[in-house]
Amino acid sequence: MLITNVCTTPLLVRNKVPYHWAHGVTYGAEVILIEVQTEDGKSGYGETIATPSAVGVKAFVELAGRHLIGKSVFMSRQIMAECYHSLFQAHGTCSAPRFGGQILAGLEMAIWDAAGKTAGCAVHELLGGKVRNEIDYFGFIQGETADELALDATRLVEQGYRVIYGKIGRGEQLDIEIVQKVRQAVGESVRLRFDPNEAWDPLMATRMIHRLAEYDIEMIEQPCDHRSLHALKQIKGSSSIAIAADQSVFNLADVYDAVTLGAADLIVLGLHETGGVMPFIEAAAVAAAAGINVCIHGLHETGITTCAANHAAAVITNLDDGNQYMNHLLSSDIISSPNLDLTDGSLPVLSGPGFGFEIDLDAVDRAAEDHRSTMSNSSPGAPI
């Protein structure tokens, strides 16, 4: 079945509450919705994260999208290799392996969704079949103050979450207060993970990890600048708390470097880093060869990514049991089904066809209008 058209639409889907982390405050998911249309009238959907500029990202997606026209939905690997070569290896610049993954992720997703709908089966079935029946997620605490975060942690534990994850990296004293109050709120039996999002240098990381150890923290995620795996290894070498690599790993080559260097106990990886479903599976296999698990990474994304990641995670052998879930942050979504509410921190592996979601075109129109009006009323580069 051949692809006849690729449509792109910038969207803004707002969060319920502002999202506080080491990089400031984020108010919603800004994405480029991608629709791949086939000659028999089917539509496959994906999305690409629109940062740092929806105008710029949309232009790159549309350039890449030209390579899809006239190609079979069952040739995504060849199509994506052609896109990558054309846009990001052209003339030997090789300047953007990570940006390339971000740009191409939504197109790759949309081709898989179209392929599944064409074949009449779930994407995970096309990938060889699921090896589990459900995906487990951590409870992601939200709030600005330590008291708000601790209260949210209590709510999430009451909802059945066994792993709680929170953002720190917001200043030494506030970080300590957050961790102390969250631990006090949830009791001893809940597993706690915290993410400073690169806010610490190795000296500060060593000091903070030493201070946080008394609160029985299971894992600290990407404490230092992502550009140095050696710094991450240095921190891990002196840490009594397990260390995860997040922004340091985007693709299978990064994962290979991290695991062979012994820089991380856990690899945090998402479709928007790897460039879609298949490169995620390949990168996970590299971690599996080193005996290390992969945790699904979340960005500011819609239910489209939640569903796509669910299918990719269903087929890898080394999935962590505390994956990142972002859908509950949204005030609304652009899919009308399935229901993505978690039960005891878990979501079933989704069925098909494709990724198994129904797009809500009215919600898409509203999110597109919100993006248009927000962009026209804000200064260039203003954070959403």
Type of residue numbered 249? V
Instruction: Name the residue whose CB lies closest to Mg ion.
Output: 246
Report, in Å, the least distance between residue 165 CB and Mg ion.
Answer: 9
246: contact with Mg ion by CB under 5 A: yes
Helix (H, G, I), strand (E, B) or coil at 61: helix
Considering beta carbons, is residue 266 or 330 the nearer one to Mg ion? 266
Interface of this chain with Mg ion, residues 59 to 78, rule: CB under 5 A: none
Report, in Å, the least distance between residue 281 CB and Mg ion.
Answer: 21
- Structure tokens that stand for 49 in this block: 């994260």
* CB half-sphere exposure, 179, CA atoms < 13 A: 28
Tell me the C-alpha to C-alpha distance, in Å, between residue 218 and each of 164, 191, 192, 244. Answer: 10, 6, 6, 10
Considering beta carbons, is residue 175 or 221 the nearer one to Mg ion? 221
Report, in Å, the least distance between residue 322 CB and Mg ion.
Answer: 12
Considering beta carbons, is residue 58 or 297 the nearer one to Mg ion? 297
Report, in Å, the least distance between residue 338 CB and Mg ion.
Answer: 26
320: contact with Mg ion by CB under 5 A: no
Considering beta carbons, is residue 11 or 263 the nearer one to Mg ion? 263
Residue 235 CA to residue 224 CA, distance in Å, equals: 9
CB distance 198 to 247 below 8 Å: yes
Report, in Å, the least distance between residue 310 CB and Mg ion.
Answer: 19
Residue 159 CA to residue 345 CA, distance in Å, equals: 8
Considering beta carbons, is residue 195 or 333 the nearer one to Mg ion? 195
Residue 136 CA to residue 323 CA, distance in Å, equals: 6
Interface of this chain with Mg ion, residues 191 to 230, rule: CB under 5 A: 195, 221
Task: Give 7: exposed, middle or buried? Use CB within 10 Å, 0-12, 13-18, 19+.
Answer: middle
Type of residue numbered 65? G
Helix (H, G, I), strand (E, B) or coil at 371: helix
Report, in Å, the least distance between residue 328 CB and Mg ion.
Answer: 17
Burial pattern 252-280, b for ≥16 Cβ within 10 A else e, equals bebbbebbeeebbbbbbbbbbbbbbbbbb
Considering beta carbons, is residue 42 or 272 the nearer one to Mg ion? 272
Residues in the site for Mg ion, rule: CB under 5 A? Answer: 195, 221, 246
